């Protein structure tokens, strides 16, 4: 690999760089074995996914299947903090909200709003909260509400996410489904700490997704009774 000034000056003869580059390239993916061997305190048990406190600016994910024996985290998080997060991440129970508040029939169908972080964070009692996470999930994955109720999505992660139930913006089969009469909605980009609310009036099952993370199948479901 010849390295030249940018742009267009005399190159370094390739033979000068060859041997070292080849050896060094091997190091690119091999050095990590040593690192892992030096982390016995993190090697106790199979690891699924874990998400740590987003406010600390850190989350770690190791995929399910326990192929990796170790978890490596920034030293701002102790290994002890990982264990509860692992347990919490192993299942996503469906949630429901009861009882619902009466709905004003005069309100428009499918009302949406993006709430700035400066606004009060506490939703009304009848609002169901879904979090957008660093591990690229909606939590809970599925919720059940009654017609006329509102769902609030909170981006508690470090990433930009969207809450999108608009078939025209989906590029992967299965990202979106709407019930008959259900209206599309899209939060737009939700920066960290941003919140989005949508009120559902038409019963049925709504499947939505996150646009930037459609490839990892970041999807959620709202079932409106």
Partner 1 sequence: MKRTIQTLLGVVALLLTGSFGVAPALAQEMPTQMPGQMEMSAEQMQMIHRLQAMAPARGYLDAHKMIDQPLGLLGGPIQIDISQDAGGVFVAMPDRRQLDPHVFGTPDMPRAVAGTPGINGLPPMARGEEDGNYTTMMMPSPFGDAFMAMGDGRLQINATDATATDAARTDDTVEMMASWKDGEGNVYEVRCCAMLTAHGMEFPTFGGVVTNHILHGFTRIGTALMPSEYTYFGFWGMGQVLKNGEVLDAPRLVHGMLTEYVRTDGYALAFDDEVTPTRQHFHLMVAPFQPVMESESFEQRPVHTGMMLPNGMELPFWHVMFENLQIGGHRE
- Measured from the CB atom, is 126 or 187 closer to partner 1? 187
Binding flag, residue 100, partner 1 (CB under 8 A): no
Binding flag, residue 143, partner 1 (CB under 8 A): no
DSSP helix/strand/coil, 173: coil
- Measured from the CB atom, is 81 or 204 closer to partner 1? 81
Binding flag, residue 60, partner 1 (CB under 8 A): yes
Binding flag, residue 180, partner 1 (CB under 8 A): no
Rounded Cα gap, residues 99 and 10, in angstroms: 75
User: Binding string, 79-98, against partner 1, x = CB under 8 A?
Assistant: x-------------------
What are the DSSP calls for 144-171, one per residue? EE-TT-EEEEEE-SSS-B--EE-GGG--
Beta bridge partners, 128, equal: 151
- Measured from the CB atom, is 123 or 186 closer to partner 1? 186
Buried-exposed string 47-81: b where 16+ CB fall within 10 A, e elsewhere: bbbbbbebeeebbbbbeeeeeebbbebeeebeeeb
Binding flag, residue 26, partner 1 (CB under 8 A): yes
Name the segment binding partner 1 (CB under 8 A); options: 51-59, 98-106, 124-132, 198-206: 51-59
Site for partner 1 in 182-221 (CB under 8 A): 189, 191-192, 212-217
- Closest approach, Cβ 65 to partner 1, in A, equals 9
Name the segment binding partner 1 (CB under 8 A); options: 54-62, 98-106, 116-124, 180-188: 54-62
Rounded Cα gap, residues 223 and 94, in angstroms: 10
Rounded Cα gap, residues 102 and 3, in angstroms: 69
User: Residue from 128, 129, 159, 224 that binds partner 1 (CB under 8 A)?
Assistant: 159
Tell me the chain's radius of gyration from C-alpha atoms. 23
Tell which residue, 138, 127, 160, 114, has the closest CA to residue 207.
138
Name the segment binding partner 1 (CB under 8 A); options: 77-85, 93-101, 103-111, 114-122: 77-85
Tell which residue, 136, 112, 113, 130, has the closest CA to residue 184.
112
């Amino acid at each position: 690999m010849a390295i030249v000034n940018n742009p267009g000056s005399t190159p370094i003869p390739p033979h000068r760089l060859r041997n070292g580059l080849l050896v060094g390239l091997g190091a690119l993916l091999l050095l990590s074995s040593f690192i892992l061997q030096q982390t016995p305190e993190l090697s106790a048990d199979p690891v699924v996914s874990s998400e740590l406190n987003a406010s600390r600016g850190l989350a770690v994910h190791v995929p399910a299947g326990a192929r990796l024996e170790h978890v490596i985290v920034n030293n701002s998080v102790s290994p002890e903090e990982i264990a509860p997060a692992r347990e919490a991440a192993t299942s996503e129970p469906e949630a429901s909200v009861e009882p619902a508040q009466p709905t004003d029939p005069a309100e428009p169908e499918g009302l949406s709003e993006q709430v700035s972080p400066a606004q009060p964070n506490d939703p009304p009692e009848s609002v169901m909260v879904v979090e957008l996470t660093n591990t690229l999930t909606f939590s809970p994955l599925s919720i059940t509400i009654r017609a006329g109720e509102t769902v609030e999505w909170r981006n508690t992660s470090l990433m930009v996410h969207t809450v999108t139930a608009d078939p025209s913006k989906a590029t992967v089969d299965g990202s979106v489904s709407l019930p008959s009469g259900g209206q599309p909605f899209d939060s737009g980009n939700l920066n960290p700490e941003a919140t989005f609310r949508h009120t559902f009036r038409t019963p049925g099952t709504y499947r939505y997704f996150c646009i930037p993370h459609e490839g990892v199948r970041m999807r959620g479901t709202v079932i409106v009774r």
